[in-house]
Chain A
Amino acid sequence: MKQSTFSLARLLVLVSLAVVLALFYAIWTHSTDPGNLSIIFLTALLVAVFFSDARKMPALTPRKVFYSLAYILFLIKEIIKSNFDVARRVIQPVMPINPGIVPVKTKLKSPIGRMILANSITLTPGTLTVDVRGDHFYIHWIDVTDGDEQGATQAIVSGFEKYLEVIFG
């Protein structure tokens, strides 16, 4: 056995994965009985041990957990803000739209980090990731304020990237 198999970091990742799985199951089934819950947790732990790949998992550090929570709050704030923005555009008699597809550049390297970035951009109304080619995302933007690559990157991506760089960096 390799030494890394039993490291504390791996154990932490496994246990937190099992907790999340067990929580999902417990919420769906409304389980509150302690005996029931412990069986759910043991099963979840078994699933986590057999089906997780520790090499592909980012190591859990308090800093990353904190940034993940901050990222979720930031994303909710952005979604609410831009929903109001798009709603305002829809109800005006002459719709103030200025649409176009702009390229932006991402600094993120990890595939899952990029996926989360592209999905966050799409989830935020007003911007929609149309394609990904290499380092560049092509984004349909409902109000192009800056067609320049750097300006668009600054306006759309950098807010999300600040958090994702720490989480997946």
Chain B
Amino acid sequence: MKIERRVISVIVLNEHGVLSRITGLFAARGYNIETLTVAPIPGSKYSRLTIVTSGSPRVIEQIIKQLHKLIPVYKVIEHSELVEKEMVMAKIPLEERLSDVEALCRAYNGNIVNIGKDTAIIMAADEPSRIKNFIEALKRFNPKEIVRSGVVAIER
């Protein structure tokens, strides 16, 4: 069966142990988690998790149903009409041509955010597929460390 990538947003009660219920479910049933982000929803008792996963259509259907089944889960948003963004940060040695680095960052909604003794810290925020390209392009500036945030998404 065809393996597809899927972004799922889960609205959960912001309570003790809720994240372990979600990750435990994925681990116990052998589902993939490619990325996972979580933060409270401002002004509510809920948190929003964004999970990027992959599997056959039957597996994806099961993931969604199993998530629904967890008691503290309020809502599972799984339609494909989502705007997705991911952020990445990296350390670039100061010896690199920072003007070129900055131009690259700008092309991916980013900039240089900090310059230290030996390295500059840069960031970019864009669609997950473009972030992949960005990281590829960044390689020629010998990044010392790359940190990705995982995907956040919101429905259109």
Question: Is chain B a partner of chain A in the same complex?
Answer: no
Q: Which residues of B contact A (CB under 8 A)?
A: none
